[in-house]
Amino acid sequence: MFALSKPLYEVLYENIKNDINLGVYKEGDRVPSEKELSQQFEVSRITTKKALELLATEGLIIRQPGRGSFVKHTSTNEKESVEDDGKLSKKERTAPLIGLVITDFDDSYGTALISSIEKCTAKHSCFLVLRRTFGIVDIEQKAIRELVELGVEGLIIFPAQAEYFNEEILKLVLNKFPLVLVDRHLKGISTASVSTNNVEAARKGAEYLLDLGHRHIGLMTPPPNDTTPLEDRIEGFIQAHAENGVMVDRDLWINSLTSTLPNSFRPPNINQDIEKIKKHLLDHPSITALFAAEYYIALMAIEAVKELGMSVPEDVSIICFDSPPTHIGEFQLTYLAQDQEQMGQKVFEILMKLRNKGDDNVVPNRIVLDANLIIGNSTASLAVKK
């Protein structure tokens, strides 16, 4: 009965959509459940579940846990109404609004993540509303409040670096608002999050340097301040040393670099951090490699090495997290690439499950993704150094 040119769930979705448009199912009517559709069309529950999720994502039905799925509209025409306070109502809107709150983005990290999320929203007929916070908690709180007032039906939040999550995020969690955190997770509080396995990624990067023969490796980070990604990267760095029987020398670390903190990435602060790295290298001449927790810290380290009259990687090898794509012939850092494409897909998938939560919809609490080690020109074996 089904055409084989399309997936079964798409055909089932189109059949129900046509029935809604033709008035077979009117506004407020209950549509058959996953089980009933499975029996009626002799397909799997996975197929019927996907079809209903697609209808819910498009705004044609509302899924209510424990009750079923109900028709939201009798036509595909998008309607808008204005409430007494002058705000647009989402009652008659067919295309869901999804809010994205992110600190900032560039080619080194963030652009590919946003692109992936945007592709998912377009594919499922959603609209993405983006707000940048520049890592400032007050702006983050304001952005969350405004997006909720706007009528977004789910939020994706890349939280600012801070010792504690802001109260607006905690309110969302307590109110069970559809929310997915990116890159961070709330300790002790159950909320969905998607992040890189920073422990394993840092372990992989440090192990690569150790395999190259380096035993005196300087770890460069901003002040951790209870920021889970940095804490995890430090933990992975320590694990690699322990697993390879190498003592960790914390005197070789710099954890006071502040120019990459929110609202601080300006020439005077950058120059100050470069001077810190130069002094650190002069005070610790045994260092043969540097592990930067962030891309821009790696760039400052390269500049510091050059200003000291040394070369990368001949005198000092450098590895970091993240890097923008490079063109043929350009110098490329050795770096740990986070899977931003998959991260964006997972974030959207989980958010839709939270928004349309129904029967058999199990939402994972936390997903961690592997990072890939990309070998560039900034690292070399200690044995071949000049």
Based on the fold, state whether residues 10 and 59 are members of the same structural domain. Answer: yes
Element (H, E) at 340: helix 340-355
pLDDT at 29: 86
Based on the fold, state whether residues 13 and 72 are members of the same structural domain. Answer: yes
Based on the fold, state whether residues 252 and 153 are members of the same structural domain. Answer: no
Based on the fold, state whether residues 7 and 135 are members of the same structural domain. Answer: no
Based on the fold, state whether residues 243 and 380 are members of the same structural domain. Answer: yes
pLDDT at 74: 46
pLDDT at 116: 96
pLDDT at 76: 40
Task: Choose one of 69, 92, 115: the last residue of a domain.
Answer: 92
In angstroms, the CA 54 to CA 60 distance is: 9
Based on the fold, state whether residues 129 and 2 are members of the same structural domain. Answer: no
- Domain span at residue 138 reads 93-195+339-369
Concatenated DSSP letters for 213-279?
A: T---EEEE-S--TT-HHHHHHHHHHHHHHHHTT----GGG-B----TTSTT--SHHHHHHHHHHHHH
Task: Choose one of 74, 92, 110: the last residue of a domain.
Answer: 92
Q: How many domains does the chain have?
A: 3
In angstroms, the CA 88 to CA 80 distance is: 7
Based on the fold, state whether residues 222 and 306 are members of the same structural domain. Answer: yes
pLDDT tens digits for 66-108? Answer: 778 888 744 444 444 434 444 444 444 567 899 999 999 888 9
CATH number, domain of 23, equals 1.10.10.10
pLDDT at 188: 63
CATH number, domain of 97, equals 3.40.50.2300
Based on the fold, state whether residues 227 and 271 are members of the same structural domain. Answer: yes
Give the predicted TM-score (pTM) of the model. 0.73
**Could you tell me the two tokens for 84?**
């007494």
pLDDT at 187: 67
pLDDT at 162: 58
Sheet containing 366-369: order of strands? 127-132, 97-102, 155-157, 179-182, 192-196, 366-369
Sheet containing 289-292: order of strands? 217-220, 289-292, 317-321, 334-338, 371-374
Residues 6+ apart with CB under 8 A from 269: 258, 259
Q: What is the DSSP-derived secondary structure letter of residue 86? A: S
Based on the fold, state whether residues 275 and 289 are members of the same structural domain. Answer: yes
Based on the fold, state whether residues 307 and 224 are members of the same structural domain. Answer: yes
Q: Given the structure tokens 């939402």, which residue do they identify?
A: 363
pLDDT at 67: 78
Based on the fold, state whether residues 121 and 187 are members of the same structural domain. Answer: yes
Per-residue tens of pLDDT for the chain, all 386 residues: 333 446 777 778 888 888 888 788 888 888 998 888 888 877 788 888 888 888 887 778 888 777 788 887 444 444 444 344 444 444 445 678 999 999 998 889 999 999 999 999 999 999 999 999 988 888 999 999 999 999 999 999 998 875 566 788 888 888 889 999 998 877 666 789 999 999 999 999 999 999 999 999 999 999 877 577 898 999 999 999 999 999 999 999 999 999 998 878 889 999 999 999 999 999 999 999 999 999 999 999 999 999 999 999 999 999 999 999 876 777 899 999 999 999 999 999 999 999 887 544 566 688 999 999 999 999 999 865 44
In angstroms, the CA 222 to CA 237 distance is: 15
Based on the fold, state whether residues 276 and 141 are members of the same structural domain. Answer: no
Task: Choose one of 46, 74, 92: the last residue of a domain.
Answer: 92
pLDDT tens digits for 360-377? Answer: 456 668 899 999 999 999
pLDDT at 94: 60
